């Protein structure tokens, strides 16, 4: 029996990254690239390994895509707490920024392909 409480959550915030930390593709020539920070994403330990993390990520990315339709933004930034989390984000086509394998980005075009 599942008890009441918080089983998963995420938070989003506007952000930008400097071109120097991005490869040519995500920066597309901009000096700073506007986007969204996936500041937190968590799933209760009792639910891990069942695909719920991917579902929560898709929900977050769906909201980012809607926000980008209105307010712009070219990418999502994700800061992984550990290597396993970075691997989780890489599984969904996120790529690490230069010199930081735990800070990853996903272009809006990749998000839209994922959501189709």
Q: How would you write the pLDDT of the chain (116 residues) with one tens digit per residue? A: 556 777 899 999 999 999 888 876 555 566 889 999 999 899 888 877 888 889 999 999 999 999 999 988 999 999 999 999 999 999 999 999 998 999 999 999 999 998 88
Q: What is the rounded CA–CA span in Å between residue 36 and residue 13? A: 6
Q: What is the pLDDT of residues 44-57, one digit of tens each?
A: 888 778 888 899 99
What tokens were used for 88? 């989780």
Q: For residue 33, is it within any domain?
A: yes
Is the separation of the CB atoms in 40 and 9 below 8 Å? Answer: yes
At residue 26, the pLDDT reads: 55
Domain hosting 42: range is: 8-115
Q: For residue 45, is it within any domain?
A: yes
At residue 49, the pLDDT reads: 81
Q: For residue 1, is it within any domain?
A: no
Q: For residue 93, is it within any domain?
A: yes
Q: For residue 107, is it within any domain?
A: yes
Q: For residue 40, is it within any domain?
A: yes
Strand 32-43 with 75-79, pairing = parallel
Q: Indicate the number of domains in the chain.
A: 1
Q: Report the 10 Å Cβ neighbour count for 78.
A: 25
CATH number of the domain to which 31 belongs: 3.40.630.30
């Amino acid at each position: 029996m599942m008890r009441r409480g918080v089983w998963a959550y995420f938070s989003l915030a506007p952000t930008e990254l400097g071109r120097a930390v991005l490869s040519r593709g995500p920066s597309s020539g901009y000096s700073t690239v506007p986007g969204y920070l996936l500041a937190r994403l968590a799933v209760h330990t009792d639910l891990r390994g069942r695909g719920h993390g991917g579902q929560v990520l898709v929900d977050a990315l769906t909201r980012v895509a809607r926000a980008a339709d209105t307010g712009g933004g070219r990418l999502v930034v994700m800061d992984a707490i550990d290597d396993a989390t970075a691997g989780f984000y890489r599984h969904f086509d996120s790529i690490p920024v230069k010199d930081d394998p735990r800070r990853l980005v996903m272009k809006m075009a990749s998000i839209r392909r994922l959501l189709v």
